[in-house]
């Protein structure tokens, strides 16, 4: 009987644990999706049946008359934002309430590879953002551009050879290989040559980072459901962490831990290390007199590896998906392809046929083409923020608490006929200045906006 009683107590306790907070939105009178014990409203995502962007889009489409809709990630309350004005409040106007991205568990220990600009929150994010911004200046980009042109020429050779022989190429694979090559050159000073080498080591590294695995899905799921128990389990695993540490250490050793003059991302990190600590006013630590404390950051070997890791991941996946999807659309819209080619030819004629940073900036219609591609299929289909201090939603009496996750369903908003007529039609003219002026600024956010907007927005 004692054993049965203990089992009953355990099961009941487990059930209450798995449903805690599941009345959060009901108590506040907020329209919400119905949660499932342990998984909340994201069961299909945890089971790898839907992506985060798809799940957010489902909520967006299911509630067309709401400004925001409640949900749960396991037992953590989430809020999907449907109103562009409210999106602006969260990511710009009221940023001090939502400076955290909220992608990592809310405890002090942080997986080493996640101590980077994309995943970091609070003071660590602010320190990294301040120091990393100069790496993406127009001057730095111009200095790197010859490295990109060299890879473009290899891509052109590969494509022309395929056309001459009638060979079929997978656009996604080709653009992934090209992107690997220029990320390797601009980020790490490596000549990966993935376009010509079938199984290049850098290509394998990309697959190891980005290909979904059951182990990674398991860790992410259980870190959300049982954060205290699984907080030290690494999402990317020790093997990948060791690979990134070894790669960055090897490159730095080859350069004698000094900038090499290549003007690549590793050179930038070496320059940072030479300068020592960087200081800012804290977002999180306040003195007795109400002023912000000063906080400092010094770039150690782990931090170097973490920044190199996110440079590779963010640059590779976003660029390859955006370019390959746009090529797919151009293949189905030859009239758009012709206009884009005419735009390229017009600009190159002015620059003696030479591709340069300044020439690319003049290719207006080509830019519209890419913007339209990223509208239909943005590389990141959602934005995530986390409430860090109590916040009353403008125009309502609904107050949310720190820890609530905010989701902006970019892909759903950018494909909403309310903002873009016939949204699945590929029409770059939507991005002419006249058309852009007619729209709400916050219905097109492939790079986000506000202080946490993508730092690589203007990267080539």
Tell me which of 374, 402, 435 is where a domain ends.
374
Q: Is the separation of the CB atoms in 294 and 283 below 8 Å?
A: no
Q: Bigger pLDDT: 438 or 202?
A: 438
41 and 130 housed in the same domain: no
Q: Is 221 part of a structural domain of the chain?
A: yes
Same domain, 142 and 49: no
Say if residue 458's pLDDT is above 60.
no
* 139 domain residue, yes or no: yes
Instruction: Determine the pLDDT at residue 190.
Output: 85
CATH of the domain at 235: 1.10.630.10
Region 256-283: mean pLDDT is: 87
Domain range holding 350? 333-374
Q: What is the pLDDT of residue 105?
A: 61
- Give the CA count within 13 Å in the CB-facing half-sphere of 126: 16
Kindly state whether residues 337 and 318 are assigned to the same domain: no
Do 251 and 173 lie in one domain? The reply is yes
When comparing pLDDT for 316 and 335, which is higher? 335
Average pLDDT for 424-447: 96
- What are the tens digits of pLDDT across the range 209-243? 888 788 888 888 888 888 888 888 888 888 889 99
- The answer to whether position 252 is within a domain reads yes
* Polymer length in residues for the chain: 460
Render pLDDT for 10-35 as a digit per residue (tens, 0 to 9).
788 888 888 999 999 999 999 999 99
Q: Which segments of 92-200 does DSSP mark as H helices, in order?
A: 122-132, 138-165, 171-188
pLDDT (average), residues 92-121 = 86
Least confident residue range of 101-110, 246-255, 372-381: 101-110
For all residues of the chain together, what is the average pLDDT?
90
Position 313 in a domain: yes
Tokens matching residue 51: 């992506």
Do 205 and 167 belong together in one domain?
yes
pLDDT at position 286 is: 82
Tokens of 122: 């609070």
Count of domains in the chain? 3
Q: Which residues of 304-325 are buried (b: 16+ CB within 10 A; e: fewer)?
A: bbbbbbbbbbbbbbbbbbbbbb
Beta bridge partners of 73: 40, 76
Order of strands across the sheet with 76-81? Answer: 68-73, 76-81, 405-408, 383-386
Same domain (yes/no): 175, 310: yes
* pLDDT tens-digit series, residues 362-387: 999 999 999 999 999 998 899 999 99
Asked if 174 and 47 sit in the same domain, the reply is no
Whether 250 maps to a domain, the answer reads yes
Question: Does residue 2 have a pLDDT over 90?
Answer: no
Residue 11: its pLDDT value, please?
80
Same domain, 226 and 344: no
The residues facing 178 across adjacent strands are: none
Is residue 325 pLDDT above 50, yes or no? yes
Element (H, E) at 410: helix 410-414
Phi, then psi, of 171 in degrees rounded to 5: -60, -40
> Where residue 107 falls among pLDDT bands split at 50, 70, 90?
low
pLDDT higher than 60, residue 460: no
| 318 within 8 A of 457, measured Cβ to Cβ | no
Same-domain check for residues 136 and 248: yes
Co-location of 241 and 349 in the same domain: no
Residue 125's closest CA among 232, 282, 14? Answer: 282
State whether 337 and 317 are in the same domain.
no
CA-to-CA distance for 344 and 113, rounded, in angstroms? 39
If one compares 343 and 190, the residue with the highest pLDDT of the two is 343
- Same domain, yes or no: 158 and 233: yes
| Residue 61 is assigned to a ligand binding site | no
Hey, what long-range contacts does 43-49 have (CB within 8 A, 24 or more apart)? 46/217, 46/220, 46/221, 46/224, 48/212, 48/217
406 conformational bin, left if phi > 0, alpha if psi -120 to 50, beta if neither: beta
Domain annotation covers residue 45: yes
Say if 422 falls within a structural domain. no
Residue 132 lies in a domain: yes
């Amino acid at each position: 009987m004692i054993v049965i009683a203990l089992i009953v107590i355990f099961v009941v306790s487990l059930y209450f644990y798995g449903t805690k907070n599941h009345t959060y939105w009901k108590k506040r009178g907020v329209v919400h999706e119905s949660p499932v014990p342990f998984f909340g409203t994201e069961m299909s995502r945890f089971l790898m049946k839907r992506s985060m962007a798809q799940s957010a889009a489902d909520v967006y489409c299911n509630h067309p008359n709401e400004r925001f809709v409640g949900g749960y990630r396991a037992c953590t309350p989430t809020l999907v934002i449907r109103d562009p004005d409210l999106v602006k409040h969260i990511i710009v106007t009221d940023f001090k309430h939502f400076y955290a991205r909220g992608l990592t568990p809310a405890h002090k220990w942080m997986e080493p590879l996640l101590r980077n600009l994309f995943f970091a929150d609070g003071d660590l994010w602010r320190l990294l953002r301040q120091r990393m911004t100069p790496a993406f200046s127009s001057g730095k980009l111009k200095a790197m551009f010859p490295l990109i042109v060299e890879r473009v020429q290899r891509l052109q050779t590969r494509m022309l050879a395929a056309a001459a022989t009638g060979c079929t190429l997978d656009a996604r694979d080709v653009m992934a290989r090209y992107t690997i090559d220029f990320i390797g050159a601009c980020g790490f000073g490596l000549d990966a040559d993935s376009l010509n080498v079938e199984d290049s080591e850098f290509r394998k590294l990309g697959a190891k980072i980005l290909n979904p695995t059951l182990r990674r899905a398991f860790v992410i799921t259980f870190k959300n459901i049982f954060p205290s128990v699984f907080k030290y389990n690494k999402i990317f695993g020790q093997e990948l962490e060791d690979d990134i540490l070894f790669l960055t250490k090897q490159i730095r050793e080859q350069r004698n831990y000094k900038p090499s003059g290549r003007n690549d991302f590793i050179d930038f990190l070496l320059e940072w290390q030479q300068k020592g600590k960087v200081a800012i006013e804290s977002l999180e630590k306040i003195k007795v007199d109400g002023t912000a404390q000063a906080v400092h950051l010094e770039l150690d070997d782990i931090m170097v590896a973490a920044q190199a890791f996110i440079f590779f991941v963010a640059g590779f996946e976003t660029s390859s998906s955006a370019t390959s999807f746009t090529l797919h659309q151009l293949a189905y819209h030859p009239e758009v392809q012709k206009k884009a080619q005419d735009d390229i030819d017009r600009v190159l004629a002015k620059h003696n046929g030479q591709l340069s940073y300044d020439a690319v900036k003049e290719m207006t219609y080509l830019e519209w083409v890419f913007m339209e591609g990223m509208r239909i299929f943005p590389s990141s289909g959602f934005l995530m923020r986390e409430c860090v201090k109590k916040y009353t939603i403008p125009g309502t009496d609904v107050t949310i608490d720190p820890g609530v996750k905010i989701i902006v369903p970019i892909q759903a908003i950018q494909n909403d006929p309310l903002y873009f007529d016939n949204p699945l039609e590929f029409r770059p003219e939507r991005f002419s200045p006249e058309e852009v002026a007619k729209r709400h600024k916050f219905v097109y956010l492939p790079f986000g906006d506000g202080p946490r907007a993508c730092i690589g927005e203007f990267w080539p």
